[in-house]
Amino acid sequence: MALDFNLTDEQRMLEDSVYKWAVAWLEPQMEHMYEVDEMPPTIFKETANLGINGIVFEEKYGGTEMGYVETLLAYETIARVSNALSMTVGASQTLCFDNFRRNATEEQKMAVLPKSCTGEWIGCLGITEPNAGSDAMSMKTTAVKKGDKWIVNGSKIFITNAPVAQIMLFYAKTAPEKGPHGISTFFCEIDKVKGKGWSCEKIKKWGMRTSPTGLVTFEDMELPEENLVGGLNKGVAVLTSGLCTERITLSGCTLGSQRSCLEMSLKYAKERVQFGKPIISFQTIQEKIANMYTGYLASKWMAYSAASFCDAQTSKSGGKGTDLDRMAAAALLYCGEMGTKIGLDAIQIHGGYGYCTEYGVTRHFLDQKLWEIGAGTSEIRRMIIARELMRDDFKSGR
């Protein structure tokens, strides 16, 4: 029997509606917004209307109760126009709010998730610190209990959406002497702590512009007891529970750019005439186009098969000792590296015009490189894959 690699009618409808919106609403403002490095302020209201914000959330929180395949599809489709804004939506909805949903109490979820679904609240997730990147467990941020309050000190760097967010989910050491077993998860309502121990400085980047990135500083920030998420010293479990869905769904950001780079290059190569012929008639250009197509298709099915496998699991958390951990790391590893390669080929096909901002292909290229760094670098993903292969000697064949 044939394996069915086709989208369902419902998935096609989602793709169509998101793509029509991205072309009509996002595309016309992208060149300017990229230049000034500003996020379109109402984007989360727009994605709320499309049902993307709470795409995997239960209806009681305002969600659409779809799966990670649909999340990946939505992120891929936004990224066909803007990789950076797809990342911004993913950082809020998957990294912050979906992880919160997986680990918070019912009371906490009812207080937070509905506002994320309507686009009223944007989220961000704080793991990385200036001296703790790949080695996240060596974080220095602390939360110390004083009476019925937590006092937080430290900093988080490269935090997507921090300059515009209302909710921050973050990790801090609550028992530093216990190492990774002394980390806890907290959330803060930024409006309540801004200027009172929470501050944020926007970071300038050469790619992923329009997606705001911040350096957050906590200075004696007070949080109420109930802002602890997932239990005292249970932070590592919370953190790892979100990494697989993050790596799988954010593969969509690079998929969207890969597809657009291929489409734009194909169109340009047919139109651009040199030596009296369209440049697509030259074999070295055809080779690039063929490689782009092959790379995109391979990336696409790695990511979608990982998302489909994830949707079929009872626990979507993955983590050490699961096939999902290896598949998620492999999907983003492949998509990320292929994205950079395809982006470079697209620039080359566009010649000098590709080096200028007019064709949009440059934005995709600049954004793509991030996917070899963010959500765990390529080196860290290879370490995860090798660790999981050594665990089961590839007996599962996945």
Ligand X SMILES: Cc1cc2nc3c(=O)[nH]c(=O)nc-3n(C[C@H](O)[C@H](O)[C@H](O)COP(=O)(O)OP(=O)(O)OC[C@H]3O[C@@H](n4cnc5c(N)ncnc54)[C@H](O)[C@@H]3O)c2cc1C
Q: Is 84 in the site for ligand X (CB under 6 A)?
A: no
Binding ligand X (rule: CB under 6 A), the pick from 42, 49, 105, 134 is 134
Question: Both tokens of residue 37?
Answer: 């490095």
Identify which range of 60-68, 74-82, 127-135, 314-322 contacts ligand X by CB under 6 A: 127-135
Q: How far is the CB of 290 from ligand X (least distance, A)?
A: 30
CA torsion sign for 238, 70, 369, 116 is negative
Catalytic residue among 246, 337, 372, 388: 246
Q: Minimum Å distance from CB 123 to ligand X?
A: 10
Which residue, 10 or 201, is less far from ligand X as judged by CB?
201
Torsion of CA 374, 376, 378, 379, to 10 degrees: 140
Which residues share a beta bridge with 228? 186
Residue 160 interacting with ligand X (CB under 6 A): yes
Q: Which stretch binds ligand X (CB under 6 A): 10-18, 114-122, 158-166, 323-331?
A: 158-166
Choose the stretch contacting ligand X; rule: CB under 6 A; options: 19-27, 228-236, 321-329, 375-383: 375-383
Give the span between the Cα atoms of 74 and 40, in whole angstroms: 18
Q: Among 115, 104, 130, which residue's Cα sits nearest to residue 165? A: 115
Q: CA 280 to CA 286: how far, in whole Å?
A: 6
CB nearer to ligand X: give 96 or 280. Answer: 96
Q: How far is the CB of 124 from ligand X (least distance, A)?
A: 6
Q: Closest residue (Cβ) to ligand X? A: 133
Nearest distance in Å: CB 135, ligand X:
6
User: Of 61-69, 153-161, 246-254, 272-280, which segment contacts ligand X by CB under 6 A?
Assistant: 153-161
Question: Which DSSP symbol is given to 54?
Answer: T
Which positions from 198 to 227 touch ligand X by CB under 6 A, shown as an x/- string?
A: -------x--x----x--------------
380 within 8 A of 134, measured Cβ to Cβ? yes
- For residue 204, the Cα-to-chain-centroid distance in whole angstroms is 19
Q: Is 219 an active-site residue?
A: no
Q: Is there binding between residue 111 and ligand X (CB under 6 A)?
A: no
- For residue 82, give both structure tokens: 């803007």
> Is 307 within 8 Å of 72 (Cβ atoms)?
yes
**What's the closest the beta carbon of residue 254 comes to ligand X, in angstroms?**
13
**Minimum distance between the CB of residue 182 and ligand X, rounded to whole angstroms?**
19
What's the CA gap between 149 and 122, in Å, rounded? Answer: 25
Give the whole-angstrom CA distance, residue 370 versus residue 296: 17
Q: Is 188 in the site for ligand X (CB under 6 A)?
A: no
Token pair, residue 55, equals: 């795409």
Closest distance between ligand X and the C-beta of residue 370, in Å?
5
Rounded to whole angstroms, what are the CA distances from 59 to 27, 54, 66, 97? 31, 9, 10, 15
Structural tokens at position 6: 């086709």
Closest CA to 362 of 377, 372, 378, 349: 349
Per CB under 6 A, the list member of 26, 52, 85, 91 interacting with ligand X is 91
Residue indicated by tokens 């370490």: 383
Q: Which two tokens stand for residue 77?
A: 């489709």
Q: Which is nearer to ligand X, 239 or 262 (CB)?
A: 239
Enumerate the active-site residues.
Answer: 246
For ligand X, the binding residues (CB under 6 A) are 91, 124-128, 133-134, 158-160, 205, 208, 213, 370, 373-374, 376-377, 379-380
